[in-house]
Chains A and B, each alone.
Chain A
């Protein structure tokens, strides 16, 4: 089954293949760059019209998003939570917009490719490990050994394996949901072109928001778990 590509990549791929070699720049990379350009355009243009007493619709939507991320950070991480919200907020915006690109004709969701979701999972993994090391120093590694030092040869591989399974599960969960939903909607559209594919619209939007919510909440739980041992 051939993989469908976005309109921009379909227009530009001869130039990409000629300049950089065949297959060096993929469709999901182009879509991710488009998303970065979109946010570079959206946020400065909209933030010029922000007002304190007469908020418009876009300002209220963005305030709702920022407020919900701040609330979740306070609930899970506790004190000094807002500085982690500054990292997780843009990641949440990236994930939710990347998932919702599936529903615009001529675009493909960059998260329908395992490379993008693996990068996001690896970023979350590095974030919580660096936060733990910065907060506690070298004693962060002691949580892998457990309470009794004699049990270390047993606890250490199990703990390392469970920590390595976190970015893997984050990446595969997001990739599986978005890729499977997109592919199944496409297959149903081939088989029954009228009527039934309408069902996949709201379902896909719901799945996009839920997957973002779960990704960010799991990242917050991992950060909280990295911070709690010690103080």
Chain B
């Protein structure tokens, strides 16, 4: 029973926990928990991986500039281009999160009521 088994068991327990449905009407939307978790984790994972990838791109560009300072203009242009392309993938995830929140659960009166 090594660490991998423990990790696999913990993941399965978390994912297979049933969503307890209490006795309610048929047409009431009850998925607020799932949407909050999905939007939060989706954007967080996308932001984390995007940050790691952009750090690698910037590190490579800085090393290139350090080795060859006269090519700094071209290297900087290519670096900005690559950074924007990587960031656009995180923006796709952000679009999905915003879509989930504002189409199903976006109710600013809730914020006003909670305050």
Which residues of A does B touch, CB under 8 Å?
1, 169, 172-173, 175-177, 179-180, 183, 190-191, 210-211, 213-214, 217
Residues of B within 8 A of A (CB): 80-81, 84-85, 88, 91-92, 94-95, 98, 102, 106, 108, 111
Contacts of A211 in B (CB 8 A): 84
A217 CA / B94 CA spacing, docked (Å): 24
Interface of chain A: mostly helix, strand, loop or mixed: helix
Task: Looking at the assembled complex, report how far the CB atom of A206 sits from the nearest CB atom of chain B, in whole angstroms.
Answer: 11
Cβ-closest 3 pairs across A and B: A176-B91, A173-B88, A214-B84
Q: How far is the CA of A183 from the CA of B81 in the complex (A)?
A: 24
- Which one of A176, A179, A210 lies within 8 Å of B80 (CB-CB)? A210
User: Which of A172, A191, A214, A217 lies in contact with B95, CB distance below 8 A?
Assistant: A172
CB distance B80 to A183 under 8 Å?
no
Say whether A217 contacts B81, CB under 8 Å: yes
Q: A173-B88, A177-B88, A177-B91 are in contact. List 20 more A-B contacts (CB 8 A).
A: A1-B102, A1-B106, A1-B108, A172-B92, A173-B91, A173-B92, A175-B95, A176-B91, A176-B95, A180-B91, A180-B94, A180-B95, A190-B108, A191-B111, A210-B80, A211-B84, A213-B81, A214-B81, A214-B85, A214-B88
